[in-house]
Amino acid sequence: MTNTKQVFCCGSVAYDLVIVSKTTGREFNIKACPGGSVFNTAAALARYGVNVSLIANLAEDFLGDEFVGILLEEGISPRFVSRDSRIKTGLAIARINKKGESSYVFYRSSGPETAIPYNTSLLSSFKKGDVFHTGSAFTYADHSHESVLKIMRSASDRGVFVTYDPNWREGRVKNKSVAKARIKKFLDLANLIRLNETDAMEITGQKTLTSALKKLPERAILTMGKKGSFYWNGKKSAKCPAPQVKVVDTIGAGDAFTAGIIYRYCIMGEDGFWRNMRKNLEFASHTAALVCSEHGAIAGLKRSLIAEPDKAMPPMKK
């Protein structure tokens, strides 16, 4: 199927500094990978051949320069990327446990200069049927949430299909009630939400997933790691098992899943997308599994593998 849709991924970027081993002394061996939730999603989409642009505010340091080069290398358009000398490129130091699960320490700028400038040429680029995606703590941080919400509203007003992944980071939230109120605005505006079971319970303040689901909009995809995923439309539907894969690390797995969902929307069109939710979840699950097979958020999505997506997919768990 031919895809003519444009995808806009909006948010912050960073370098993931992944601790891959520890020496006998006090030193770590670290692998530096480009990252940030929306970059991970954009890179996966670009590797699937989707026309994708990044909307972000990058530092004017040498790491920011390198990141622009990475965007071009990946086939992600930087035409809506602004640069600001007052901010520094973000760093996310990741430690991987024996199960491949990651924990982070973040170093980012956090002042009003982190907001994304409002760009009228961007607004004129939004077309009905295109996709706008945003997510992560950038959407509920003090100085950036309003700038993203304004762009998201403009996209929605122009008939753009809007997706959102809150990617809740409780350790980075100072005022939880304020952050949750901000997230609710994005949840209410989005056509489709992707979140994991921990996100669902912590954002809604519920102790069980069953009670959390009742607090969520009925247009959400829930991912549960090795337990698979399902679509919530007032009931659990299109349940999908997780693929069989040897997990190296889970960095960017949720972002890759989101990319798989958006890719399906792009090639199927809106009607076909909603009619084939189980297939959408299967494809997204396989995309996430490929990412989990190597260190970093996009290394597992080799172009040689995903040139023919159906042949690259690992088997599903029974």
pLDDT (tens, 9 = 90+) of the chain, 318 residues, equals 556 789 999 999 999 888 877 766 678 888 888 999 999 999 999 999 999 999 999 999 999 999 999 999 999 999 999 999 999 999 988 887 777 777 778 888 888 999 999 888 898 999 999 999 999 999 999 999 999 999 999 999 999 999 999 988 877 778 999 999 999 999 999 999 999 999 999 999 999 999 999 999 999 999 998 899 999 999 998 999 988 888 877 788 899 999 999 999 999 999 999 999 999 999 999 999 998 888 767 777 775 455 455 555 544 444
- Is pTM beyond 0.85 here? yes
- 85: nearest Cα among 107, 111, 120: 111
Q: What angle do CA 38, 193, 174 make, to 5 degrees?
A: 65
Evaluate whether 29 touches 23 at the Cβ level (below 8 Å). yes
- 59: nearest Cα among 51, 68, 50: 68
**pLDDT tens digits for range 220-239:** 999 998 899 999 999 998 99
Query: Using CA atoms, how far apart are residues 91 and 232, in angstroms rounded to an integer?
Result: 34
Considering the chain, what percentage of its residues have pLDDT values greater than 70? 93
Query: Using CA atoms, how far apart are residues 9 and 40, in angstroms rounded to an integer?
Result: 10
Give 192's contacts (C-beta < 8 A, 6+ positions apart). Answer: 161, 162, 163, 164, 219, 220, 221, 261
Q: What is the pLDDT of residue 318?
A: 44
- 192: nearest Cα among 160, 227, 145: 160
Query: Using CA atoms, how far apart are residues 305 and 236, in angstroms rounded to an integer?
Result: 32
Q: How far is the CA of 14 from the CAs of 17, 100, 172, 268, 298, in angstroms? A: 9, 21, 15, 31, 14
DSSP H helices, the chain, are 37-47, 62-74, 120-125, 145-157, 176-189, 197-204, 209-213, 253-275, 277-292, 303-306, 309-312
**pLDDT tens digits for range 162-216:** 999 998 887 777 899 999 999 999 999 999 999 999 999 999 999 999 999 999 9
The full set of domains in the chain, from first to last, is 6-111+125-312 (3.40.1190.20)
